[in-house]
Structure 1
Amino acid sequence: MNLDVAGIVDELCPGGASAHLTHGQVIEALVANRLTSPAPLVRVGDWARVWAVEEVFGIEPELLNDDRLARARALDAVAPHLERLAGTVGARAIAEFGIDVSRLHWDMTSMSVHGAYPEDGQDQRFPVIKYGHPKDRRTDLKQVQAGLAVSGDGGIPVHARVFDGGAAEVSQVVGAMKDLRELAGRQEFLMVADAKLVSYANVTALLEARVPFIAPLPASQVKDGVYAALDLERAAAVDWVPQRDAGRDPAEREVYRVLEDVPHLTGPRKRDPQLALRRILVHSTANAAGQRAARAKRLAKAAEEMDKLARAAGGRHYMTAEKVAARAGVIAAKRRVTTCLRWRVHQHETGTPRLEWSFDQDVLDTEAKADGWYALITTLSTGQANPAQVLTRYKGQGAVERRYADFKGPLAVAPIFVQHNRRAAALIQVICLALLVFCLIERQVRRALGPEQTMAGLYPDNRAVRPTGRMVLYHLGELNLRIGNVTDPPTVQITRGVQLHLLELLDVKVTQTRWPQT
């Protein structure tokens, strides 16, 4: 991979991490460490001995010792240059590997951090570790956040940024757009994001910058009854099949239908001009089935609890009508049936409260009509994309979620054992660089395989599957380097045919190989 991470780092922050290593060499070694041994940064010297770091990178394992001086100095050195590092490496990846950046998907994720990290002890020039709104719902832990821009071509994370733990996603969209404009250069690109993009300020900035976008409308911005009033028969079927349904019977596949209208986005002030956008109304049979099942479950739980309350009314815990009504309100809110649950508490002739309740069928029928619908907004013209094409381009947004799964899975972004927030930010950026390499490896193997992008040999049952970065590194991680001498050159020991096949797909020229004797 000709990314020249070491050269780029050394140009941004010249000077050695130690007397024998440059900052670039250390960062490059850390990227390799994340790819091959994603664990807390301890005993990196032992990892370097096992993984032939001296033979590959020319770094003596002892220089990556457990006192972590070289690594800490390198992280401190790159911390002030993270945005330039991300932009430079991303631009190089685009140029070297011909990545199409005409469509870029943007999203953010959070990483919970164990430790106190008092704010007054952190460097305020760098992303601050603090409480926020964690995606993993660990509200008891502080966090730091990262944003990724992933190409529609192969799902390559061509840009990454680190943010404060308390940074609001909606406030980062304009900054991300500016970064992506600089990254794409003269090439026009489509920005795809989640509902956090949709605010009057963000949409105005994107329109002024002439950056087209697609994003889902937040549910709160669609008035009640809009979806229920739509005629599904008028919606056009979309000729697109999700990858998860590719092998299923056509009758069992998820079906999408689309309609279009023109809503107006209003600003926070009366004098703000209304923004006319295209709104694509999407119906998904899978979403509809899921919403029906979820509603049935909520109604069943609410009915069970309301029946129990009706039996308990007048007992020692619910001796008054006020207590019965209060409990009914709690049930309605907890089970999210406030709109359809009706109840009345009246006095029995004995003076004890009695509860009568029911579900409003008209409300349930209206909710059922809205099942499966959601809305996208876009600035793409009808000439640039019809409603079905808007939907299929938005569906690429799943690539960002998959990359975050790689980010927190195979590359193990947590746990992070660093003392300062500036080092935490730098280490996350290093992991983003590792993710870039991880995804380029996956893309290269798939492209070399041809249109089907499948191969056998990755799993014990020999079935043909699309190779993932995780599986490629798993098989290549078992290669061994036999150290030679002057008369006996080093030899890569290949134990399985799939390893040789993967090296060929990656266009790696292994001049000296040795198969085990049988």
Structure 2
Amino acid sequence: MKRPLLKTPPLGDTAQAAGRTLHSYHLGLLPILNRLLTRLRLEPILRDYLPPEDRRSRISPAQGLMVLLKNLLLSREPLYGVPQWAARCDPAALGLAPQQIAALNDDRIGRCLDQLFRSDCGSLALAVATQAIAEFDVELDELHNDSTTVTFSGAYLDAARETKRRGQTRLAITWGHNKDHRPDLKQLLFILTVAKDGGVPVYFQAKSGNVVDDRTHRSTWDLLCKLTGRLDFLYVADCKLANTENMAYVHGHGGRFLTVLPRTRSEDRTFREALAGGRVRWRWVHDKYDEEGKLADQFRVSEPAATSVEGYRLEWYHSTRKAELDALARARQLERTLKDMAELQQKLTSPRTRYRWRAKVTEAVEVILQAHGTMDWIELEIEEHEQEIFRQERRGRPNDRTRYRRQVKSRFELKYALNHATLASAAVSDGVFPLITNDRQLSEEALLLAYKGQPVIEKRFEQLKTEFEVAPVFLKEASRIQALLCLYFFVLLVQALLERELRRAMARHQIASLPLYPEGRACRRPTTPQLIELFENVQRHCLVVGNKPPVVMTTKLSKLQRRIVKLLGMRMVYDN
């Protein structure tokens, strides 16, 4: 049976007058993104890894995924909104022919995600990262790893456990340690590794929602060794790396690691006791200045360097800025604690109080102190008072022969005050943090600066959840969600490469800033959202007059737009 022809929907905006027809398409930042994607060879790599195409498909899986990727970068529509967004754009900039737009719908994009899931997202991400590292010359001397959670609203009953589907592992969307502070919602774990060089993402993994972070470091380090082809890169991660098994694995295989020592370790308690006893000497190591040249932070290191129980190098640092923040955080903790204690005291004095037993009062107090982490800073006493109540033995109007029954009820009162001794002891440790490493060659300052690069990956997570709105996820099938998270890794990669290319070009040309902020104010570190907004007005027009060949025109770029295109080395990218 012959397939019915799909009618091509109206593309762009159309205006007609006196035999003339003008078609206008949105172009925006698409030409610049296409140039980056060409260098990244993303579509050819997708074609190599995706299962064989169905010849009946009007849009190949690689084409559909590329359209979805560009939408996530520029607009972030739900799947049902992608066709309408694509219809407003120049089809050529999306890598499609005009007649293919009619075949683009949410069902088609969903099947493209199915094909991506079948392709083994881990191997695909590794291949794309390898191409990015080679093409853009990304330095891999220092790699930062961390994880976040992607939170879901919904039951996802069919994804309660890991299962095998189409030869791949479908992850479990379930409860775990939620980093969005929503323990009531289910989640997946999103693990990301970025290079210090521009914060470029080099690898990602998705794990089931109940996977604990400290179990992922060894497999991640093995994959990074495969990606880099070396063992001597510095692997920087949070305190989940700092357990004996993880550190021994990296050290035993010839790798280098750097992480922060958890508060639960015995070395932490020993040092803080020595600090409270005045037995620690500090030496200046680094000053940090803000963009205006003002001193923002000062760092000191303790002398001499300590050693962990495993024999690794342990350096203790003190930050003046962190000391201020620690003191402020403690003051807020105490303020909230005292407020909750006052509310509890009010409940205890209420005539209809439900706190009639000491055990219940003690439990309520412990909940408050543990919730705010102030167990050691509050001196507390629960006083019990007996209250006599006389009630008539029988109903009726009381008289001189009425008999009364005496009842005794317990009432409780809280007596609490600040423990100034423990508060003073805690204040001594303000601004202190320990770093543990097996590298004996790096200086104290180099170790500090390496660890202070960790917020770069936190910035990527912030962008994932705010600029690109990874949640809420408008998908039900867990396998498609896994494929979508792989696409989000490519989104973060393209964004990071674009910003890195522009900032490096500014440095080469000794350009301190660009007027990208409102009112033309200077911006020293241009971001992708700023570029998207700057090029938002760029359109491509096609003028048709009678039977004459169409005339194609593009919005004339502003001086600032031309300057950015020139810095990126893409002078001709907006030419017709």
Does the alignment reach a TM-score above 0.5? yes
Counterpart CA distance in 1 for 2:231 and 2:414 is 66
* Partner SS for 1:404: helix
Mapped partners of 1:409, 1:327: distance in 2: 37
CA positional deviation for 1:477: 3.2
Percent of aligned positions that are identical: 26
Structure 1 73/321 Cα, relative in aligned 2: closer, same or farther at 3 Å? Answer: closer
Structure 1 residues 241 and 441 mapped into 2: Cα distance closer, same or farther (>3 Å)?
A: same
The alignment status of 1:164 with 2:212, answered yes or no, reads no
Residue 436 of structure 1 deviates from its aligned partner by 0.7
Separation in structure 1 between the aligned mates of residue 283 and residue 99 of structure 2, nearest angstrom: 62
Deviation string, structure 1 residues 186-218 (Cα, Å, up to 9, x no partner): 373111111111122211111122110111111
Name which structure has the greater RCO, CA cutoff 8 Å, separation 6+.
2
> Do the aligned residues in 2 keep the contact of 1:142 with 1:165 (CA within 8 Å)?
yes
Contact 1:75 1:427 in 2 (8 A): yes
SS in 2 for 1:116: coil
**Counterpart residue number, 2:57:** 19
Q: In the alignment, is the contact (CA less than 8 A) between 2:298 and 2:319 conserved in 1?
A: yes
Confirm or deny: 8 A CA contact 2:356 2:411 kept in the other structure.
yes
Equivalent in the alignment of 1:142: 186
Mean alpha-carbon deviation: is it higher for 284-293 or for 313-322?
Answer: 313-322
Query: Residue 248 of structure 1: CA displacement?
Result: 5.6
| Counterpart-to-counterpart distance in 2, 1:354 and 1:25 | 70
Tell me by how many angstroms 1:79 deviates: 1.1
- 2:291 is aligned with 1:234: no
1:176 aligns to what SS in structure 2? helix
Preserved contact between residue 178 and residue 187 of structure 2 (Cα < 8 Å): yes
Aligned residues: 499
Q: Is the 8 A contact 1:44 1:64 kept in 2?
A: no
- Provide the C-alpha distance between the structure 1 equivalents of 2:282 and 2:513, rounded to a whole number of angstroms: 39
CA contact (8 A) 2:217 2:241 kept: yes
CA contact (8 A) 1:458 1:471 kept: yes
Say yes or no: does 1:277 pair with 2:277: no
Identify if the C-alpha distance between structure 1 residues 115 and 386 changes in structure 2 by more than 3 Å, giving closer, same or farther.
same
3-state SS of 1:158 partner: strand
CA drift of 1:119 comes to 3.8
Relative distance call for 1:194 and 1:62 in structure 2 (3 A) is same
Distance 2:154 2:384 in 1: 56
- 2:231 and 2:411 map into 1 onto residues whose CA distance is 75
1:392 maps to 449
Q: TM (normalized to structure 2)?
A: 0.79
Which residue number corresponds to residue 297 of structure 1?
332
Match of 1:180 among 208, 224, 237: 224
1:507 aligns with 2:569: yes
**What secondary structure is seen at the aligned counterpart in 2 of 1:298?**
helix
The residue number in structure 2 matching 1:111 is 150
User: Is contact 2:464-2:492 (8 Å) kept?
Assistant: yes
More strand by share: 2
Corresponding residue for 2:418? 359
The answer to whether the 8 A contact 1:12-1:85 is kept is: yes
Of residues 144-153 and 455-464 in structure 1, the stretch that sits farther from structure 2 once superposed is 455-464
How far did residue 143 of structure 1 move?
Answer: 1.3
One-letter amino acid of the structure 2 residue matched with residue 158 of structure 1: V
Are 2:269 and 1:224 aligned?
yes
- CA distance in structure 2 between the partners assigned to 1:413 and 1:220 by the alignment: 33
Equivalent in 291, 315, 319 of residue 246 of structure 1: 291
Q: Aligned partners of 1:322, 1:126: CA distance in 2, in Å?
A: 47
Residue pair 1:39, 1:412 contacting (<8 A) in 2 also: no
Is 1:332–2:369 an aligned residue pair?
yes
Q: Aligned equivalents of 1:87 and 1:278: distance in 2?
A: 32
What is the aligned-residue RMSD (CA, Å)?
Answer: 3.0
What amino acid is the match of 1:456? Answer: L
* Residue identity opposite 1:365 in structure 2: A
**What stretches of structure 1 of length at least 5 have no aligned partner?**
266-274
Report how far residue 328 of structure 1 moved: 4.5
Aligned pair 1:44/2:79, yes or no?
A: no
1:215 aligns with 2:259: yes
Find the counterpart in structure 1 of residue 128 from structure 2: 89
SS of equivalent residue, structure 2 residue 177: coil
